[in-house]
């Protein structure tokens, strides 16, 4: 009977160890995905900062565009067209610049 208890105890320790290792692997994968996202954001930010051409969109404009509630914009068949909104936004900006 004691041998059975010790066997079950070892099996539980082994199972717990495997579960902890699995959690560590999942956390490492999630961390890698987040790191990749931060790297892409960093590269895009550097490109916008280093670009001296005034025809390029500034990073603040993109941040503002992505912050908009796109559910309120007109769209057809559940499809949102970002190009249409970008044209409208740039058009309004030009009017304010000429005033």
43 plus 62 within the same structural domain: no
In a shared domain, residues 34 and 68: no
DSSP states along the chain? -HHHHHHHHHHHHHHHHHHHHHHHHHHHHHHHHHHHHHHHHHHHHHHHHH---TTSPPHHHHHHHHHS-GGGS--BTTB--HHHHHHHHHHHHHHHHH-
Domain count, the chain: 2
Average the pLDDT over each of 21-25, 33-37, 70-74 and give the range with the smallest value: 70-74
Tell me the pLDDT band of 97, cut-offs 50, 70 and 90. very low
Does residue 82 sit in the same domain as residue 98?
A: yes
- Asked if residue 78 and residue 37 are part of one domain, the reply reads no
Q: Whole domain around residue 13: which residue ranges?
A: 1-53
pTM, full prediction:
0.44
pLDDT tens by residue, 75-95: 666 665 666 656 665 555 444
């Amino acid at each position: 009977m004691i041998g059975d208890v010790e066997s079950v105890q070892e099996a539980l320790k082994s199972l717990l160890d495997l579960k902890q290792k699995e959690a560590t692997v999942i956390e490492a994968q999630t961390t890698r995905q987040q790191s990749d996202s931060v790297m892409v954001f960093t590269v895009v930010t550097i490109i916008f900062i280093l670009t001296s051409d005034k025809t390029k969109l500034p990073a603040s404009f993109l941040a503002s565009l992505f912050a908009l509630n796109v559910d309120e914009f007109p769209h057809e068949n559940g499809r949102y067209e970002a190009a249409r909104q970008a044209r409208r936004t740039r058009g309004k900006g030009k009017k304010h610049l000429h005033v």
